Chains A and B, each alone.
Chain A
């Protein structure tokens, strides 16, 4: 499609050139009063070029957009594949990172449509025009070449450089404004409660004005570049007219008028170059993302697997940038245990779960496990129905099974009260549910998957203590005989578990397997009290 777009584009430009050249020749030659037959070819040319010009223009637009959309589709699939294999931002701060990523992909589509295609077409058409004039009259061809290079290379390069410089400052200003907007929307209750709304709004408005100043300067750059292009176009015609005076009236008229159209064909380079400068950072981000930890093998990397349900970590280290999240974890969880993981926030509990789930690869050390499933802090509800979200875990489950699992997590009454039942949409990210409902739906999905190892990250955090404990007790009863690992901060539920793992600063500081030993005094809360 890209080739078709370029061909159609070049053909459209050449038809425009042909129309002007043949019309000019027709008039200039007719003025010499030749026989009518001498004009026949020119008349046919004028009519043919006039018709073909529009048709090729239409085809160029269609093929160009199609090529751009094809590229967008390919980029989407590639990005998806890359992310599916574990590249990309850490799940915790996925929200905006994703929005930016999707926007960046559109830059790839734009790049093809508004930079690559116009640039290739303009270059080919400009070159063809210069060669045509050179053959007719070399001196005029030289003038035209100078004009085309100025309008098609020098001015675009200058405009792109200026746009790039301004673009970096504009991006910074925009990021600042974005942060302020987030503060104004997400932090609105806080601002209102503390009487700080006007202050924050005024600050954001000042930032918007700062941004407007930069935008105005960007506008001045593109206005100047386009005006310079128009000047070069006119001056090239002047130069060609001067140079071609010796070539005779007919050739001179043809050359001068063709010059105007030829430079017109390369003028899109100016806009394309500026767009390129604007889009480049986004495209660079996409490229970097797609290249990260490349090349990946086509299939899942081979993994040392353990016996069903048995989980073992040996000296596992995980680093996010410079920060160690896990700092040498050794852990043996025999099949069928229920394990509570506790520790300060930031102690590495969630990372431990992600390693156990196979979502995060250890930077060092060995994880002997079968990928486990479960519910993590960032577990996602898809923008579909309750049923659709549950079927994600078990595609062949029937409605009775889905209802049963929802009842088990105390969502039964809620489900029965819904007019659409299982077909109720949950909204993007489960937006239409309350926090507690969201959490329990995720829990239901994890239970439905019924994996050999189930991982739960604070599964009852949004519930009150009594309900939370009851739900957790149900879950553990249901899971008896299979491994279940639960990150929790509630000391009053620890008595429900076989094992207790305490983490601090990325290490396991204690693994209490329930065997009687003095360390158990560490947990007075095993009685269910603080």
Chain B
């Protein structure tokens, strides 16, 4: 896959990785030329068969028709192939930067009209009109010249009207998104609306927003469709402009019947590809928006600067004046502390005190805005992060369970662990009981985000994950929040077992877990306010 520098001014789908516009156009060009030649041949043979009526050319005509269909099939199939490949490449690129989830799943389909409609039509519009025009000019110079004069009106008007409507269309696109957002927000809050008896009021609001959207769209479309109207008028009036004089010249015997008929058959064929190009272009407006969005997501993801990469040692972990800011709020405010190997440090403090942020800093998920984290005297920024994380097992406050089997979820940090090892980890995490009652035991595939399991069960799966990881450092983030007393007891027991013989930082409110800590550090507003040694 190649990557191109993302341009600053309007991004088109052609700027995306995996979209090789030139290559596709080069592949389509011979087909387009062949198509143009076949259009001329078809007209020629049809005219021979009609003026005067003669069945002779008809088999040839059928052959040309078949060939034309084959050409159009080849061009379309080629474009679809390229589109599928391009979308897969863009999806892969987005997956790698973990951005644009809606783009990946559905949004990129908006590229289809551009890749399978606009680009092939671009090739046709470049090749067919000149070929047909040449034949027209050689058949009858006057008619050919008429067409030649009116033909440029199509791109000129197309560009003029298009430019005029582009901003309006873009505005419309954004308004549409906002309306969708409003409707979704209202639906999401339905039970709240119901609880406060506001559903009737909101129904009027939904109707009003939908009507407003309809009116606004109508205004925009009235202008946007003008371009199509102009293109169509130019095309049809040109046919009239050619047909009437040719008819009159026939009366005078200035032109042969066969030639006249050929002119009438060929004239619309000159305009057709250009008109189609205009409508394909409009149909791919969403592709431009999707491309812009994709480029934005891809451009936003800056790779982590890799400086010196040192293997992590097993020395003490030292935070020196670490500050982390989220916007204006300081989540951590010049925190300094030392965590010695083998000791268990508990963090307490009110919500928003910075406890989870501190764990994220230790994991390297969040880089301090000021200060530094030293591991055995080496700055975390200079460490091989992957190797550092291999030393850590983390049980987050709300662990994410993946749409895979329970066993694979437990294997997250040890992909090659045996079924036995998984089973032992589940047992140690007090999770074996409920896991075995699942339909396929540990092989049960979970729904999205672990749907089907309760909060306590998820927490225990996360603990099993940590067990299997078997890392020397353990980070535990409020493993018992939102648990009922029974689950809490099970989780506390499991967590205690996990603490044994490990360096641990645990965020906890409940006395049950605090008892196992060597030190309790109290945080408030991102600062260490108290330290109790046990």
Contact = CB atoms under 8 A, between A and B. Distances in A.
Verify that A and B bind, or say they do not: yes
B236 to A, nearest CB: 4
A183 B402 contact: yes
Contacts of B69: 227-228, 230-231, 234
Given A27-B243, A219-B76, A373-B195, A249 B53 contact: yes
B403 A192 contact: no
A464 B203 contact: no
B455 A345 contact: yes
Contact of B196 (A194, A208, A393): A393
B460 interface: no
A467 B389 contact: no
Contact of A392 (B192, B222, B243): B192
Contacts, number: 412
A223 interface: yes
Interface in A174-189: 174, 177-189
Contacts of A27: 243, 246-247, 250, 257, 260-261, 264
Nearest to B76: A223
Contacts of B349: 464
A57 interface: yes
A281 interface: no
B334 interface: no
Contacts of B465: 194
B99 to A, nearest CB: 8
B188 A94 contact: yes
B218 A241 contact: no
B448 A30 contact: no
Contact of A80 (B181, B186, B239, B360): B186
A196 B50 contact: no
A47 interface: yes
B202 interface: yes
Contact of A93 (B183, B363, B451): B451
A191 B198 CA distance: 42
A308 interface: no
Contact of B484 (A20, A211, A347): A347
Given A27-B260, A186-B449, A530 B511 contact: yes
B210 A73 contact: yes
Interface string A346-382: 1100000000011100000000000101101011111
B189 interface: yes
B30 interface: no
A345 B488 CA distance: 10
A242 to B, nearest CB: 6
Interface of A, helix, strand, loop or mixed by DSSP: helix
Contacts of A178: 105
- Count chain B CB atoms within 10 A of each CB in A57, A181, A358 and give the residue with the most: A181
B243 A189 contact: no
Interface string A204-220: 11001101110110111
A242 B183 contact: no
A188 B189 CA distance: 27
Contacts of A34: 251
A33 interface: yes
A245 interface: yes
A188 B364 CA distance: 13
Contacts of B50: 241, 249, 252-253, 256
B98 A213 contact: no
Contacts of A194: 389, 394, 412-413, 465, 469
Contacts of A219: 76-77, 79-81, 83-84, 116
B211 to A, nearest CB: 6
A520 interface: no
A114 to B, nearest CB: 10
B118 to A, nearest CB: 15
A237 B251 contact: no
B415 A196 contact: yes
B84 A216 contact: yes
Contacts of B402: 183, 187, 200
Interface in A35-50: 36, 39, 42-43, 46-47, 49-50
Contact of B251 (A28, A33, A436): A33
A346 B454 CA distance: 7
Which of B182, B203, B239, B484 has the most C-beta atoms of chain A within 10 angstroms of its own C-beta?
Answer: B484
A296 interface: no
Interface stretch (B8-16, B88-96, B308-316, B417-425): B88-96
Given A69-B217, A215-B87, A436 B352 contact: yes
B222 A62 contact: yes
A215 B455 contact: no
Among A103, A185, A212, A393, chain B packs the most CB atoms within 10 A around the CB of A212
Interface stretch (B58-66, B125-133, B162-170): B58-66
Interface of B: 42, 46, 49-55, 58, 61-62, 64-66, 68-70, 72-73, 76-77, 79-81, 83-85, 87-88, 91-92, 95-96, 98, 101, 104-106, 116, 180-199, 202-203, 206-207, 210-211, 213-214, 217-218, 221-222, 225-226, 228-230, 232-233, 236-237, 239-240, 243-244, 246-248, 250-251, 253, 257, 260-261, 264-265, 268, 348-352, 360, 363-365, 386, 389-390, 392, 394, 396, 399-403, 412-413, 415, 448-449, 451, 454-456, 465, 469, 481-488, 509-512
18 contacts: A23-B240, A54-B233, A62-B221, A69-B217, A84-B202, A96-B448, A103-B106, A193-B394, A193-B396, A212-B84, A235-B62, A249-B53, A256-B49, A345-B456, A345-B484, A379-B195, A383-B182, A461-B482
Given A184-B95, A205-B96, 16 more contacts: A26-B243, A39-B248, A62-B218, A84-B190, A91-B190, A101-B187, A192-B363, A204-B95, A231-B69, A234-B66, A241-B50, A257-B265, A342-B485, A343-B484, A392-B198, A465-B509
